[in-house]
Chains A and B, each alone.
Chain A
């Protein structure tokens, strides 16, 4: 069992230590992972990469309790119209549809992951590895172009920390659309998603962060791309007390392509953090990344994007853009775009902007007859539009667009 003591542990950390010690079945990998977590504890703002998202401070305000709601009332999903294969993870419990066997895909409950190449020294990911008992496994078979999307609904209640894992693989030349929605209310939710996109496979992943204002979420996603694999990810977040979506991509082979797009719509004191690292190793890989943040009241938008281009990754073509729209004096946007390039024959660029709504544009729209609210909403919708319009799936695009409009109407 672990021996490293946590320095000045929070009530949550102490509770987790007791919970882990009381567990009867833990693997060696889990013990090692808990040890790694204990070495660092939850990251605080003094740790590079976490200065704008201080999990330690946020979680210190949480008291471990065991008030998980017995039965959670679950409304139909916004995505129900897309006829998805709907899998629910309710307070960490995985519920897969029973009589819903679809040809070309296997899914079920499997053993959790032991470690991953994406998460050396990542305390929150290590804690997830230590604490998660069972994982959701998804595999799309070789050459299968799955028409129905897989929908994973992360639904939380109560104030007990919850951990979950999904391990997915799209085999050679297959196609998979996977949607994850974060719903409900709760305390601390940590999820780990590992995805393998095999040679010539194409995966679209959509994330809709739509949980309550009190939610502290950490969603870690590691994607391993094989030769000529394609990956498109679009995320829309309305934030939470502290809400961080990490995407760690790795291109060990040649010819991989990704589009990573994200948008945050933040009001009140909601906080959203999109952090990504794309490791280019193979040749002729392409990455397009776009982030748009709309922040009002005392919202905080965090974007950290890093392209690592190793010496072997010649002819990499990678572009990153992050724009923030600040709608109040107290709104905050912190962007950190980074390029770390060791190859000499590459095309890489990044750009970051932040600003208020354009007065000229507002006046123009009002002169055409739109009242102030409509004019502002139209400009905000247009600002976020680049992320939404780039969604290849019509059904998902409409649902994301409707969510943007719903947010605009409410503020």
Chain B
């Protein structure tokens, strides 16, 4: 499904990813853990196509499609979703209008029919309830005046609305209380599917108590330095990242 091969990426001339290789097969959830500054967010933004991240060499494909050749919106239309660590606010744009506009833009790019207003309304109301956002919140300007936790719920609402083929969760757990963490776990578990993949980026093991990963990778100094099963997350929680920083 998602294949990253020997990826080298620079930001402002400084190389951050230094030969990262990773494969997430369809139907699996992989976690990436790593200390601050190891390149976790650089990886998520590069996969999603942010301009400021310069790919020096290497490749990223999703089901064989070369993502690096596509604009960010084309990647989204291919089914790539990024749950942002720091979601933005858009004053003046109503949440429901925004999500519907975005859904229809993706559908149009895939030559699919637009979602009808009635179907959309029914769907977003049910799904907002699922992620713990009430009707009033989805009628307000997008994320305006929302707490950090509510913004993460809004990311989860979009995840369930878009039903992407592949989702990257960039530190979705930061700033979340236990109830919200559980909600995130429920949403991801509900969406787990033999044809869908997830990459969960996190500092801590706690989110992985709710989302059981198929594999855990340690990212340090721009490279995957160790890969293992779920037990690796627990080990990291006990012994920290120091050993990997030194090794890198």
Instruction: Enumerate chain A interface residues (CB-CB to B < 8 A).
Output: 358-361, 363-372, 374-375, 378-379, 381-386, 389
Nearest CB in chain A: distance from B157 CB, A: 12
Contact present for B73 and A371 (CB under 8 Å):
yes
Q: Is B88 an interface residue (CB 8 A)?
A: yes
Could you jot down 8 A-B contacts, CB within 8 Å?
A: A361-B88, A363-B48, A366-B73, A367-B81, A369-B105, A378-B90, A386-B91, A386-B92
Q: CB-CB < 8 A to B175: which residues of A?
A: none
Bound Cα distance A363, B87 (Å): 11
Q: CB-CB < 8 A to B188: which residues of A?
A: none
Q: CB-CB < 8 A to B101: which residues of A?
A: 370, 374, 378
Q: How many residues belonging to B are interface residues under a CB distance threshold of 8 Å?
A: 32
Bound Cα distance A49, B32 (Å): 59
Bound Cα distance A306, B91 (Å): 27
Q: Is B67 an interface residue (CB 8 A)?
A: no
Q: CB-CB < 8 A to B139: which residues of A?
A: none
Nearest CB in chain B: distance from A333 CB, A: 19
* A371-B71, A372-B71, A374-B105 known; A366-B76 Cβ under 8 A: yes
Nearest CB in chain A: distance from B124 CB, A: 14
Nearest CB in chain B: distance from A356 CB, A: 14
Nearest CB in chain B: distance from A404 CB, A: 11
Q: CB-CB < 8 A to A359: which residues of B?
A: 51-52
Instruction: Enumerate chain B interface residues (CB-CB to A < 8 A).
Output: 45, 48-52, 71-73, 75-77, 81-82, 84, 86-88, 90-93, 98, 101-103, 105-106, 109, 141, 158, 162
One of B51, B87, B103, B141 near A364 (C-beta < 8 A): B87
Bound Cα distance A361, B50 (Å): 11
* A374-B105, A378-B101 known; A369-B91 Cβ under 8 A: no
Where chain A touches its partner, the secondary structure class is: helix
Closest B residue to A358 by beta carbon equals B88
Closest A residue to B52 by beta carbon equals A359
Nearest CB in chain B: distance from A244 CB, A: 27
* A363-B72, A364-B87 known; A370-B102 Cβ under 8 A: yes
One of B50, B84, B92 near A381 (C-beta < 8 A): B92
Bound Cα distance A361, B141 (Å): 14
Contact present for B48 and A385 (CB under 8 Å):
no
Closest A residue to B106 by beta carbon equals A369
Contact present for A371 and B105 (CB under 8 Å):
yes
* A363-B50, A363-B72 known; A368-B91 Cβ under 8 A: no
* A371-B105, A374-B105 known; A366-B72 Cβ under 8 A: yes
Contact present for A369 and B92 (CB under 8 Å):
no
Closest B residue to A385 by beta carbon equals B92
Nearest CB in chain B: distance from A293 CB, A: 15
CB-based closest 6 A-B pairs: A385-B92, A382-B92, A369-B106, A366-B72, A368-B102, A369-B76
Nearest CB in chain B: distance from A363 CB, A: 5
Q: CB-CB < 8 A to B48: which residues of A?
A: 363, 367
Contact present for A367 and B76 (CB under 8 Å):
yes
Bound Cα distance A374, B102 (Å): 10
Bound Cα distance A364, B155 (Å): 11
* A370-B102, A371-B105 known; A364-B76 Cβ under 8 A: no
